[in-house]
A = this chain, B = another copy of it.
């Protein structure tokens, strides 16, 4: 028998995948019960409501993705390589997705923007961290002389992030990771012609 914190963590992990695939509104407590193997009573011993669980599951998902994008950057030396490595995280969207159900930031943002203020707030914070991370990579590239000194950091980060999220959307829609690959090919041109000094 697992202890309390372990069970709680298992619930969060399993339901993060359910929410990411089916959405918050589209996931029922029965879906969570099926994924965790727990009865309703067992779930409610740990979480008062689907909302409480949804918020914690989203935080967990973002934690996983944050570690992955930091690791992807860490593996390379040059700023352009770090950037391309991070933006390639969903290259194997269908065969080896970094997170089941696609990008949790994309899924949660699109669902929560008009409907769920608490989740929307968490998604805003996650997006803000992600954009700041991209800006930091760009800044590093400017400092090392690799990128143009007149780059607008925020503008470029928003452009990069938008393409990244939009290509995941298309790849997921068609269950075809070649959409992500097409995006990445053109992204390499963009990095060469628009970012490099």
Binding site for B on A (CB under 8 A): 21-23, 25-26, 101-102, 106-107, 109-111, 113-115, 120, 123-124, 127, 152, 154-156, 158-159, 161-167, 169-170, 172-175, 179, 182-183, 185-187, 189-190, 193-194
CB neighbours of A106 from chain B (8 A):
110, 169
CB <8 Å contact, A186 and B167: no
Chain multiplicity (copies): 2
Partner of A194, one of B23, B158, B161, B190: B190
CB <8 Å contact, B23 and A170: no
By secondary structure, the A interface counts as helix
Q: Which one of A23, A162, A193 has the highest number of Cβ atoms from chain B below 10 Å of its Cβ? A: A162
5 contacts between A and B (CB under 8 A): A25-B26, A155-B186, A158-B170, A159-B163, A165-B169
> Within the complex, what minimum Cβ distance (angstroms) separates A124 from chain B?
6
> Within the complex, what minimum Cβ distance (angstroms) separates A25 from chain B?
4
Q: Which one of A109, A158, A179 has the highest number of Cβ atoms from chain B below 10 Å of its Cβ? A: A158
Give the distance in Å from the alpha carbon of A31 to the alpha carbon of B55 in the complex.
24
